[in-house]
């Protein structure tokens, strides 16, 4: 089901290995997001080649489409999307939160109209566990209410954050009971909530530890709060979680955020930023972010990042042993200007490789006992600029 072995520490930073039903995951790890059963813009083969060890699926969206009947036919998400390594699925709580006024939350669960066809739906902790059992994901997340930072300009008060946190705590107990009833052979994580209030985070954490989940996540960050508040919660909460269990911060973040998260004791991260930015925004490089749409790249023969070994930057090795060479900034600029599909595909390969390689370097630095020095050098290189 789940085994977590802590191999080494440096300060609060941790190096470990997480063993799941579909394989072992070296931590700290970044998990690419595959909302609809696909990481946008890349094939499963490309993900394997760039070193992805575990990817995400989205409970809410897969419930909508293709539906549980199709997923049952394939025995779960792994065979459906042709990915034989571990998968984590979220609970649907964040998507319910994002529906805003289109949903109605009660003690029992959340009523809403399907954004696909308008059907009246009711998502409860029990239903979330049933969906995720059908998906056969290696890591199952409890159904929670994602506490917003603000609602239409109204910043969530301590009273409102407490109500939300306590509801999620009660839902956590129901998730555990249903998970056990279903005899799900995988692992269920609890999610710490409490908004931007440290004392609520500590109450949530203590209650979840008493329930005794195999692992824990910190939710309700990267939901619109100022960056300093996100960093404050990430510095406060993860290292207070049980040392012998994996720690996951949900939805975070920039390369700098990942390095800081590791320094604060986080083992697992996910974020749509590398794939979303590849389609719409800046690309990540060792020396800062690069805006490929800028006219200055129109005739630039250099790769995105001369230190990068991804297919986009370095090319591939041919059968005869020669290397094809990478793609230029000029070519990627051209693809973007023309709206060609290959543009965001190559950008996605680069961004995901950058994130996964970042975690490889972090693990190597932790193995060598040089993480603090490595992190200082990395931050300095990123500040240098492209």
The predicted-structure confidence for 235-264, as pLDDT tens digits, reads as follows 999 999 999 999 999 999 999 999 999 999
In percent, the amount of the chain with pLDDT more than 70 equals 99
- DSSP SS3 for 290: strand
pLDDT at 102 over 90: no
- How confident is the model at residue 154, as a pLDDT? 95
Query: Catalytic residue at 69?
Result: no
Report how far apart, in Å, the C-alpha atoms of 161 and of each of 124, 156, 164, 198 are.
20, 6, 5, 11
330-345, pLDDT tens digit by residue?
A: 999 999 999 999 999 9
Q: How far apart are CA 181 and CA 189, in angstroms?
A: 16
pLDDT at 96 over 80: no
- How confident is the model at residue 219, as a pLDDT? 96
339-382, pLDDT tens digit by residue?
A: 999 999 999 999 999 999 999 999 999 999 999 999 999 999 99
Report how far apart, in Å, the C-alpha atoms of 241 and of each of 217, 235, 237, 283, 366 are.
9, 12, 7, 33, 20
Cis peptide preceding 283, ω within 30 of 0: no
- How confident is the model at residue 62, as a pLDDT? 96
Helix ranges, the chain (H): 44-49, 59-64, 68-73, 77-81, 93-98, 125-135, 158-181, 198-211, 227-236, 255-263, 273-280, 311-314, 329-338, 342-368, 371-384
Q: How far is CA 139 from the centre of its chain?
A: 12
Rounded to an integer, the average pLDDT of 35-48 is 96
Active-site residue (options: 138, 144, 267, 270): 270
- How confident is the model at residue 115, as a pLDDT? 86
Sign of the CA dihedral 134, 138, 141, 142? positive
Cα 217–Cα 219–Cα 224 angle in degrees, nearest 5: 150
- How confident is the model at residue 94, as a pLDDT? 76
Closest CA to 51 of 349, 368, 365: 349
Give pTM, 2 decimals.
Answer: 0.97
What's the chain's average pLDDT? 96
- How confident is the model at residue 16, as a pLDDT? 98
Rounded to an integer, the average pLDDT of 53-63 is 96
Rounded to an integer, the average pLDDT of 214-223 is 96
Q: How far is CA 15 from the centre of its chain?
A: 18
Active-site residue (options: 90, 144, 257, 267): 90
Q: How confident is the model at residue 317 (pLDDT cuts 50, 70, 90)?
A: confident
């Amino acid at each position: 089901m789940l085994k977590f072995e802590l191999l080494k520490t440096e300060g609060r930073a941790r190096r470990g290995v997480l063993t799941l039903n579909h394989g072992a995951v070296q931590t700290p790890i970044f998990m690419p997001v595959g909302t609809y059963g696909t990481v946008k813009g890349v094939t499963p083969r490309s993900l394997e080649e760039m070193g992805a060890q575990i990817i995400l699926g989205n409970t809410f969206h897969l419930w909508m489409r293709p539906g549980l009947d199709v997923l049952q036919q394939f025995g779960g998400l792994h065979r459906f999307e042709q990915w034989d390594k571990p998968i984590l699925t979220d609970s649907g709580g964040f998507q319910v939160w994002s529906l805003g006024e289109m949903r109605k939350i009660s003690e029992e669960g959340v009523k809403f109209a399907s954004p696909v066809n308008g059907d009246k739906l009711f998502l409860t902790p029990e239903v979330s566990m049933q969906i995720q059992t059908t998906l056969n994901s290696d890591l199952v997340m409890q159904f929670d209410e994602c506490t917003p930072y603000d609602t239409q300009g109204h910043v969530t008060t301590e009273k409102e954050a407490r109500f939300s946190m306590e509801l999620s705590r009660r839902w956590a107990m129901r998730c555990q009971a249903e998970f056990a009833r279903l005899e799900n052979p995988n692992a269920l994580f609890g999610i710490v909530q409490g908004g931007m209030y440290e004392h609520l985070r500590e109450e949530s954490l203590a209650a979840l530890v008493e329930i005794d989940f195999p692992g824990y996540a910190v939710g309700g960050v990267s939901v619109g709060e100022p960056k300093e508040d996100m960093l404050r919660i990430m510095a406060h909460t993860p290292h207070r979680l049980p040392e012998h269990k994996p720690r996951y911060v949900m939805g975070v973040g920039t390369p700098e955020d990942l390095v800081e998260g590791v320094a604060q004791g986080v083992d697992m991260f996910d974020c749509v930023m590398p794939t979303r930015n590849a389609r719409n925004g800046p690309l990540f490089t060792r020396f800062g972010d690069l805006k490929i749409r800028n006219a200055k790249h129109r005739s630039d023969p250099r790769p995105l990042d001369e230190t990068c070994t991804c297919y986009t930057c370095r090319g591939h090795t041919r059968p005869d042993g020669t290397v094809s060479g990478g793609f230029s900034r000029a070519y990627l600029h051209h693809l973007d200007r023309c709206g060609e599909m290959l543009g965001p595909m190559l950008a996605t390969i680069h961004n995901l490789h950058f994130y996964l390689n970042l975690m490889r370097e972090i693990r190597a630095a932790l193995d060598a006992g040089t993480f603090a020095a490595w992190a200082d050098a990395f931050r300095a290189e990123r500040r240098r600029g492209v």
